[in-house]
Amino acid sequence: MLFTNVCIFDCEYCINRASNNIKRASFTPRELADITINFYKRNYIEGLFLSSGIAKSPDHTMELMLKTVKILREEYKFNGYIHLKLIPGASKELIEKASKLADRVSSNIELPTEQSLKLLAPEKTKTTS
């Protein structure tokens, strides 16, 4: 599931890049938690794989995703599988929280060199991506 396809970055390889003229949509943490728990109760899904575009900032986006997972785990007592895609550039504190709440976390290494990063995603650097 994609929390939002809104993104502040303009990475050439990404369908959700800022300059792409596509319809944008976002969930609130409550909306996504409700959808997930309802699908789970109906046996439509066994878990949640959650990723997102980067809305406002990496920390802001990671916080929204964590709120979703907290609602699922703490309010709904959701014991299904949760895999979170970590948001590049999110704080260490938020990554640690995500690692405690999710069954699995992962992160994409999008480009291997500084030169290719500058070419395709000029707003990013190797230390912040």
> Domains of the chain: which residue ranges?
29-120
- Per-residue pLDDT at 89: 87
What confidence category does residue 126 fall into, taking pLDDT thresholds of 50, 70 and 90?
Answer: low
- Per-residue pLDDT at 111: 56
Our CA angle for 57, 60, 64, nearest 5°, is 140
Q: Say which CATH topology domain 29-120 has.
A: Rossmann fold (3.40.50)
- Per-residue pLDDT at 125: 73
Please give the Cα distance from 10 to 85 (Å, whole number).
Answer: 19
Q: What is the pLDDT of residues 48-96, one digit of tens each?
A: 999 999 999 999 999 999 999 999 999 999 999 999 999 988 999 999 9
pTM of the entire predicted model: 0.84
- Per-residue pLDDT at 109: 65
Contact 12, 63 (CB under 8 A): no
- Per-residue pLDDT at 113: 66
What confidence category does residue 107 fall into, taking pLDDT thresholds of 50, 70 and 90?
Answer: confident
What is the signed CA dihedral for 96, 57, 85, 43, rounded to 10 degrees? 100
